[in-house]
A and B are shown apart, each in its own frame.
Chain A
Amino acid sequence: MTLHRGLSGTVVHNRVALLMAVAAVAGALLPFLGFAPNRLLSGRPVPLWAAVQTVADIGALLPGLVLLGTPFLRPTRAALGLTVVAGALLAAALVWLAGEQAARLAAGASPAARTSFASGFWVMAAAGLLAAVDGARRMGLGTAGRLAVGGSVAALVAALLASGHLDHLSLLKEYANRRDVFADAVLRHVLLVAAALVPTLLVGVPLGVAAHRRAAIGRAVFPVLNVVQTVPSIALFGLLMAPLAALGALLPGAGISGVGPLPAVIALTLYSLLPIVRNTAVGLEGVPAGVREAARGMGLTPGQIFLRVDLPLALPVFLSGLRVTLVQAVGLAAVAALIGAGGLGAIMFQGLFANALDLVLLGAVPVILLAVAADALLSIGIAAAARGAGGRTAHHAPNQPPSQPPNQPGDVQARSAQ
Chain B
Amino acid sequence: MIQFERVSKRFGSWTAVDTVSFTVDEGEFRVLIGPSGSGKSTVLRMINRLIPADGGAIRIDGEDIVSLKPEELRRRMGYVIQSVGLFPHWTVERNIATVPALLGWPKPRIRDRVTELLEMLNLDPRRYRGAYPHQLSGGQQQRVGVARALAAEPRILLMDEPFSALDPITRASLQSELSAIRHRTGTTVVFVTHDMDEALRLADRIAVMDHGRMIQCATPLEILTRPASPLVRDLVGREEWGLKRLAVETAGDRARRQERLGGIALPVETPLHRALSEMVARGTERLPVVDGDGRPAGVLHLSDLVRSMPDDAAGGQAGGRA
Give residues in A with beta carbon < 8 Å to B: 288-301, 304, 308-309, 312-313, 388-393
Contacts and interface: CB of A to CB of B under 8 A. Distances in A.
B22 interface: no
A299 to B, nearest CB: 4
Which 9 A-B residue pairs are closest in the complex by CB-CB distance?
Answer: A294-B85, A290-B83, A392-B134, A297-B79, A299-B74, A299-B75, A390-B88, A290-B85, A390-B89
B85 to A, nearest CB: 3
A299 B102 contact: yes
B89 A312 contact: yes
A393 B79 CA distance: 24
Contacts, number: 81
Contact of A297 (B72, B74, B132): B74
A289 B83 CA distance: 9
Which size class do B's interface residues fall under?
20 to 34
Given A296-B50, A297-B48, A392-B134, A291 B71 contact: no
Given A294-B79, A299-B74, A288 B85 contact: yes
A388 B89 CA distance: 6
Nearest to B145: A294
Nearest to A304: B102
B84 A290 contact: yes
Given A295-B85, A391-B134, A300 B79 contact: no
Contacts of B88: 288, 291, 313, 389-393
Q: Kindly name the residue among B75, B81, B89 whose own CB sees the greatest number of chain A CB atoms within 10 A.
A: B89
16 contacts: A288-B83, A291-B85, A291-B86, A292-B85, A293-B50, A294-B84, A297-B50, A297-B74, A299-B71, A299-B73, A299-B74, A313-B89, A390-B134, A392-B132, A392-B134, A393-B89
Contacts of A393: 88-89
Contacts of A299: 70-75, 99, 102
Nearest to A388: B89
A259 B86 CA distance: 53
B83 A298 contact: no
Given A293-B85, A299-B99, 11 more contacts: A295-B87, A297-B81, A298-B79, A299-B71, A299-B74, A299-B75, A300-B98, A390-B134, A391-B88, A391-B134, A393-B89
A296 B149 CA distance: 12
Contacts of B90: 390
Q: Kindly name the residue among A288, A299, A308, A309 whose own CB sees the greatest number of chain B CB atoms within 10 A.
A: A299
